[in-house]
Amino acid sequence: MSATPSLPTLPLVASAIAAPGIVDKGAGKVVEPKPVHAAERDAATELAGLSREEVLATEHEPASKLEQAVTLFIVVVPLIGLGVGIWSLWGVGISWIHLVLMGVFYVLTAGGITVGFHRYFTHKSYEAVRPVQFLIGVCGSMAAQGSILRWAGYHRRHHQHSDDTLDPHSPHAYGGGVWGIIRGAWHAHVGWLFEGHPKGVERYVVDLKKDPLIRFIDKLFVVWVVLGIVLPGVIAGLVTYWMGGDNVLISGLLGALWGGVVRLFLVHHVTWSINSVCHIWGSRDFESHDESRNNVIFGILALGEGWHNNHHAFPASARHGLKWWQFDASYVFIKALSYVGLTRDVRVPLPERMEAKRRKN
């Protein structure tokens, strides 16, 4: 693993605003600077050299008790759901209906995050027709990871400040050593959810706020979360009734448990692992100015999101798995839709662009 970046990295970020390139002293070559929004220029200068605690005090609005309670509920209840689900196997049993629903809703909601929230709404790596925009926005909302505007705002800030002091969820915020690594991994995985809200996140989503469809989906976030839990239960009950089963109500409840609550647990922790695992363990094929890594396990589980170093090197690319063997289910879906006219302008980096950013050592 590469050396953990030190906290006072903001002078480098601030200096990159005007400079056409910065020298990577370790590699002895010029690489592209990390993009910095003009609105962050003063903050980057003023906060340079502050400790993490000082940055939190300056840049964060503390989460209210209600927000902390809701976040705790969202994190803990799916975990309890997993335990209840396992327990239900011993006493009541589980049918193929519930396992299929868990798998289907996992793909729908995890895909809503990666195809929708991430690659479309946040990075605009392709264009999509209006019905597709609505569906991927709803599916991403059913993953219960925050509304479109909040998710995109946090993620755009993450890219600007990746693995420096202002990154909302870097695992490298607590120094080296075993305890520092453990604290950092926990912070990046789930601890950051309890820290409050970085100030000024809304300025990252000014473009998204102009879209009435995005505002509509964003406003009904709670409705979509509830729908994501209730819908698999309703489907399970209807299928059981159609097949002549006796325990329609129990089947419906198990559908909501496995296709809703347990599925939330799986999607949450796979997605959060991109923040933690994929900034600690894996390979680095490209220069990216941070500690992002390609991790084959989460390349599969997260539908292509685990090719994280590739993504940080080319954030606007709809394709994250850039080698033939790096399977990227989300890109396959986006590209397939383009053949029937539902997506277009699917962006991928040119070969010469990839070669220029490829790490030589």
Question: What residue segments make up the domains of the chain, in order of their start?
Answer: 64-357
* Residue 209 exposure: Cα atoms within 13 Å on the Cβ side: 8
Tens digit of each residue's pLDDT, the chain (361 residues): 333 333 223 222 222 222 333 233 333 333 333 343 333 333 333 334 445 455 444 444 544 566 456 545 655 676 677 777 777 775 566 788 998 999 999 999 999 999 999 999 999 999 999 999 999 999 999 999 999 999 999 999 999 888 887 888 888 877 777 777 888 888 888 888 887 777 778 899 999 999 999 999 999 999 999 999 999 999 999 999 999 878 899 999 999 999 999 999 999 999 999 998 898 888 999 998 888 999 999 999 999 999 999 999 999 999 999 999 999 999 999 999 999 999 999 999 999 999 999 998 6
Kindly list the distances between the CA atom of residue 38 and the CA atoms of 44, 139, 202, 206, 228, in Å, as whole numbers in the listed order. 10, 32, 14, 13, 38
pLDDT at position 78, please?
66
Residue 23, classed as helix, strand or coil, is strand
Q: 179, exposed or middle or buried, with CB in 10 Å at 0-12, 13-18, 19+?
A: exposed
CA gap 169, 191 in Å, rounded: 8
Distance (Å, whole) CA 284 – CA 271: 20
Its pTM stands at 0.79
* Backbone dihedral angles phi then psi of residue 174, each to the nearest 5 degrees: -125, 20
Let me know: does 218 contact 134? Beta carbons within 8 Å.
no
Tell me the C-alpha to C-alpha distance, in Å, between residue 112 and each of 15, 100, 214, 261, 302: 36, 18, 14, 17, 11
